[in-house]
Amino acid sequence: MLTWIAILILAALSTVAFLVGRRKALASAGGSSAKMHSLPGYYGTYVALWVGVPAALLLFVSIMLGGRLEHGLLTATEPPVLQQLSSEQKELFFEDAQALAEGRQLSEAIYEPDVKLALEAKANEARVYSNAFRQGTFALMGVLVLAGFLWTFPRLNKDFRARNRVEGWVDGLLLACSIVAVITTLGIILSLVWESLRFFSSVPPADFLLGTHWSPQIGMRDDQVGSSGGFGALPLFAGTFLVMLIAMCVAGPVGLFSAIYLSEYAGPKARAVFKPLLEILAGVPTVVYGFFAALTVGPIFRQAFNSLGGLFLGGPLNELGLYLGQVQNQMALVAGFVMGIMLIPFVSSLSDDIINSVPQALRDGSYAMGATKSETVKKVVLPAALPGIAGAFLLAISRAVGETMIVTMAAGLQAKLTLNPLETVTTVTVQIVTLLTGDQEFDSPKTLAAFGLGLTLFAVTLVLNIVALRIVQKYREQYD
């Protein structure tokens, strides 16, 4: 409540600062804005910014950090009755103390009477801290407002370059926004690296990258099945690679050929129909592709292979027939096939852009030599576009490697080291999902393995993206 009032007051003060600043600047020019360096509004904005923004930032920081600071002060001293409690109960105790102080709902924990007394004492302590903290914040905000005003207001006169100063603030805002993006990314990378380091301290990197046994459960008891735990991720990498390969076998040719059709052969009418349709395909959520794979494509493929297997039964290829007869719904082929369909619009729209950027002069040159359209496409357009198309393929690969939903639903969960597309395989992304869904503690190798996998995945896609973007960029430079 008080915070809201503070915000309102701050807004009001800024408005006043704007009006006062504007008026003073105008007065210094004798009321004629033509004689001023900047428009009158800039002078007002300049003062208002200095009055409002630093105090607002302080308020924001204090709201973000206030709870933590209080918590730290509160837990610094433990009442003696707490010694009978476990560490989790203690944590709950302090949280409840803060909740009680702020009038929030308490947890469902039941406290002994003496603990309850201590809780109320702590709640009082918390109230004291938070009051002091809030008062301190408001006082400091007041100082900032005053300082901002005194810093700017006396300097206002008609020659003051208020416009440039205000634009400096805008620069700062733009910079801050871009820094947010960079810092967030950096933060994600650092947390990945940090948690991975914790993981690699219990599982050696070589075992992780090259081991062939993956069973990340850690048993509750020593005599449980699979309690040993195995963190050899090679089967996952193989599975990811296999699915990606199948996906690219579908998406590569289909996407490229449709791009060639769209950019070279399709008339304006066909293009107007096909291009938006492909873009709709790109907008389908991957989870929809996932159940399309699991419920439609999977059964169709299984039935096809099963009846194909029936043809071989009793013949010289009896073994093959038997094998095909027991193929399951979930297999690498289904996941890869559907993922390939998902990637078609991606490949085709990138390739289409690249083919379109091949200069018309090259096509004209080829036509003028008496080449047909097909010869021109094969011998001039495609070779010229090849580096860019390779870049598009690499980008598609990096998406295929990171794709999660389709493989989760259609590839299976068994970590097998195989290159047989009819087997169920599992991928890096699927394992991250299964490791982290549900209630988890973040201190066992099981959950930390997810970070190890995440880091590996991140490194691979990062390298792929860098290489791909380099290639695409280099190719673009050639014709601009």
Partner 1 sequence: MPMNRDDSASHEAASAPGEQAAPAVPSGPSIKIRARDINVFYGEKQALFDVAIDIAEKSVTSFIGPSGCGKSTFLRCMNRMNDTIPICRVTGSIEMDGEDVNDKSIDPVVLRARVGMVFQKPNPFPKSIYENVAYGPRIHGLATGKDELDAIVESSLRRAGLWDEVSDRLMQPGTGLSGGQQQRLVIARAIAVGPEVILMDEPCSALDPIATAKIEELIDELREQFCIVIVTHSMAQAARVSQRTAFFHMGRLVESGATDEMFTNPRDSRTQDYITGRFG
| Interaction residues for partner 1, span 398-457 (CB under 8 A) | none
Q: What is the Cα–Cα distance from 229 to 361, expressed in whole angstroms?
A: 62
CB of 169 or CB of 261, closer to partner 1: 261
How far, CA to CA in Å, does 24 sit from each of 21, 36, 40, 51? 5, 12, 9, 16
In whole angstroms, give the CA distance from residue 43 to residue 287. Answer: 54
Nearer to partner 1, 158 or 363 (CB): 363
Sole window of 112-120, 177-185, 206-214, 363-371 interacting with partner 1 (rule: CB under 8 A): 363-371
End-to-end Cα spacing for the chain: 59
Give me the least distance between CB of 385 and partner 1, in Å please: 10
Which of residues 177 and 368 has its CB atom nearest to partner 1 in the complex?
368
375 is a site residue for partner 1 (CB under 8 A): yes
When binding is defined by CB under 8 A, the residue of 284, 359, 419, 420 that contacts partner 1 is 359
Contact between 372 and partner 1 by CB under 8 A: the answer reads yes
Out of 370, 439, 441, 443, the only residue in the binding site for partner 1 (CB under 8 A) is 370
Residue 247 CB coordination number (10 Å):
29
Residue 362 found at the interface with partner 1 (CB under 8 A): yes
Cβ distance to partner 1 smaller for residue 71 or 271: 271
Measured from the CB atom, the residue of 268 and 315 that comes closer to partner 1 is: 268
- Could you tell me which of 83, 63, 66 has the C-alpha nearest to residue 74? 66
Among 368, 437, 439, 443, binds partner 1 (CB under 8 A): 368
Among 302, 363, 416, 446, binds partner 1 (CB under 8 A): 363
Q: Phi first, then psi: give them for residue 146, nearest 5 degrees.
A: -65, -45
Residues in contact with partner 1, shown as a per-residue x/- string from 314 to 353 under the rule CB under 8 A: ----------------------------------------
Q: Among candidates 173, 149, 140, 147, which has minimal Cα distance to 62?
A: 140
User: According to the binding rule CB under 8 A, does residue 273 interact with partner 1?
Assistant: no
Rounded CA gap, 248 and 335, in Å? 12
Under rule CB under 8 A, residue 227 binds partner 1: no
Q: Is 474 in the site for partner 1 (CB under 8 A)?
A: no
Nearest to 126 by CA among 67, 85, 62: 67
Which stretch in 314-322, 326-334, 346-354, 366-374 sits in contact with partner 1 by CB under 8 A?
366-374
302 binds partner 1 (CB under 8 A): no
**Minimum CB distance to partner 1, residue 379 (Å):** 7
Pairwise CA distance, residues 129 & 74, whole Å: 8
The answer to whether residue 371 forms part of the interface with partner 1 (CB under 8 A) is: yes
Query: For partner 1, which stretch binds (CB under 8 A), given 166-174, 197-205, 297-305, 377-385?
Result: 377-385
Query: Which of 379, 459, 466, 474 is close enough to bind partner 1 by CB under 8 A?
Result: 379
Please give the torsion angle defined by the CA atoms of residues 200, 202, 206 and 212, in that order, rounded to the nearest 10 degrees: -120
Q: Residue 52: which of 145, 169, 139, 134 has the closest Cα?
A: 145
Cβ proximity to partner 1: between 254 and 362 the closer is 362
Sign of CA dihedral 29, 35, 39, 42: negative
Interatomic CA distance for residues 286 and 18, integer angstroms: 50
CB closer to partner 1, 221 vs 269: 269
| Closer by beta carbon to partner 1, 152 or else 366 | 366
Does 367 participate in binding partner 1 (rule CB under 8 A)?
A: yes
Instruction: Give the amino acid at 5.
Output: I
Site for partner 1 in 52-111 (CB under 8 A): none
Backbone angles phi, psi at 427, to 5 degrees: -115, 170
Q: Which residues contact 252 (CB under 8 A, 6 or more apart)?
A: 347, 393, 396
- Please say which residue, 191 or 478, places its beta carbon nearer to partner 1: 478
Which of the 8 DSSP states describes residue 423?
S
CA distance 410 to 423: 11
Contact 93, 82 (CB under 8 A): yes
DSSP category for residue 108: S
What is the SS3 assignment for 209?
helix
> Which tokens hold the place of 330?
């979930």
Instruction: Report, in Å, the least distance between residue 262 CB and partner 1.
Output: 15
Closer to partner 1 by CB, 161 or 474: give it.
Answer: 474
Minimum distance between the CB of residue 368 and partner 1, rounded to whole angstroms? 4
Question: What's the token pair of residue 359?
Answer: 């200069």
Binding footprint of partner 1 on the chain (CB under 8 A): 267-268, 359, 361-372, 375, 379-380, 383-384, 478
